[in-house]
Structures are given as C-alpha cells and as structure tokens.
Structure 1
C-alpha cells in the first residue's frame, strides 16, 4: 500500500503541463516583383471596375508586390480610369471613375 501512494503523483509540476496554443500563422506568399504582360493586361482591365481600390486590395487580388501595386495605381490615376478618394501618407484609397463623377 505504501508503494502505491509513492508511485502515483497527485499534483504539482509532475501532474500535467499546460499546453499553450501557438495561434495560426499565415504562410508567406510569393507575389510578383515585376509586371509581366498577362498581369499588366489583367490589371488594366479589372482594376478600374473595382468599387474600392487600395494598395492592399491590389496585392491581395492580383498577387503582386506593394511597389507594383502603387505603380499600377499611379498609372491608372494618370490615365483617368480611377478617382482618388483619400490621399493619406500611408494609405491611398481610390474608386472607379464613372462618367458622372469625372472632374
């Protein structure tokens, strides 16, 4: 009987350690760093139809890098295909340019 009590620890550190969850980690995505012809054509065709256009939207939908997204946005704005809503130092927000909303 004395041996049975010693063999089974009842609490403390030896009982059971708490397992902390690690949380979900997003995989690093491989986005394009140079514009190839199909991606460029797709950007010129699809982006002006988006209702809300920002750098992060282009990164997510077109799978391009942030620098390329800014270049595409500047190009489309210069051509008049998109219209600026908010110009903040960190976040540029645009919308599609409709015939009624041209300046």
Structure 2
C-alpha cells in the first residue's frame, strides 16, 4: 500500500504543467505617426490622389500614419475634389483617383 501511494504522484499528469503546443506568434507593434508633420502632409497631397485604390488601410500601410489621421486626410482630399468616392460603408470608406476627361474619353 505504501508503494502504491509513492508511485501515484510521480506518474500523475495533473501535478505537471500542461505542455504548450505553440509559443504564439508575437506581432511587432507598429510605430505610426500620430501627428501630421510637413513631409507626411506633402506626401499625402502629392501621392495619394495618384493611387488607384484609396482606403484608410492603404494610407496607414503606405504612409505609416495613424488611422485617425488617415480618415481626416481622406475626408480632406474628397472635400478638395482630388479623389472620388466609390463605396461609403460604415466601417470602410473606399475612394479612387479623379480621372480627367470622363466624357472626352468616350468620343
């Protein structure tokens, strides 16, 4: 009986910590600008109107800016008439560049 008690804890599974199968992937924290500086401001007005597909995600990725800055930049460019709206969804705004001469191209 003493042998059975002594053998039980050493072979037990609950006393040992469970094995972790994955270490888990750790994504690096992005260091995006939260304040608009002069160089980023100039890039927005020079490059963004030439993009074929413009969304908040695209601006965040390419210009390394914060999401709120991307939304403000898109609204400002749309107000100026430099980009035009394709889809206005509650979660995702999709715009495109303004192409000159839509009626002239058909002639």
The TM-score range, normalised by the shorter chain, is: 0.7 to 0.9
Q: Tell me the SS of whatever aligns to 1:83.
A: strand
Does 2:88 match 1:87? yes
Does 2:26 match 1:25? yes
**For residues 1-103 of structure 1, what are the structure 2 equivalents within 5 Å?**
19-101=20-102
Q: Which moved more, 1:89-98 or 1:19-28?
A: 19-28
Q: Which residue of 1 aligns with 2:4?
A: none
Q: Which moved more, 1:17-26 or 1:85-94?
A: 17-26
Q: Give the C-alpha shift of residue 64 in structure 1.
A: 0.5
Q: Tell me the SS of whatever aligns to 2:87.
A: strand
Q: Give the C-alpha shift of residue 20 in structure 1.
A: 1.0
Q: Which moved more, 1:79-88 or 1:93-102?
A: 93-102
Q: Which residue of 2 aligns with 1:8?
A: none
Q: TM-score, normalised by structure 2?
A: 0.74
- The unaligned stretches of length 5 or more in structure 1 are 1-11
For 1:19 and 1:78, how far apart are their aligned partners in 2? Answer: 53
Equivalenced residue count is 90
Q: TM-score, normalised by structure 1?
A: 0.77
Q: Which 4+ residue blocks in structure 1 deviate beyond 3 angstroms?
A: none
Q: Give the C-alpha shift of residue 18 in structure 1.
A: 5.2
For 1:76 and 1:101, how far apart are their aligned partners in 2? Answer: 20
RMSD: 2.0
